[in-house]
Amino acid sequence: MIFIERVEDEYYIRIAHEMTKQHYISFIAALSSDKIQMIKLYPEGNAEVRVKINGVKKILFYCNRDGLFSHKILKGIDELR
């Protein structure tokens, strides 16, 4: 399960997933139309990152066992300003 919270000019992204040496999230990437923000994660760490909002439209994350997942960012009312 993925949790995304807006904190000032960033998204705080947290994934509820085990982070053992055998089963973990390897990276989280935030995609916009002209940029990729990619953060490498490590086993036994936390599956959470902060990325600049900068037009992010999709979040990708990769599990070493289950593969690649994506989550589309929906614009909220507070982002229409």
Rounded to whole angstroms, what are the CA distances from 50 to 5, 10, 21, 22, 40?
A: 9, 6, 23, 25, 12
pLDDT tens digit string along 18-74?
A: 999 999 999 999 999 999 999 999 999 999 999 999 899 999 999 999 999 999 998
* pTM (predicted TM-score): 0.86
pLDDT computed for residue 74 by the predictor = 82
- CA nearest to 63, candidates 32, 28, 34: 28
Structural domain boundaries in the chain: 2-75
CATH topology for the 2-75 domain: Immunoglobulin-like (2.60.40)
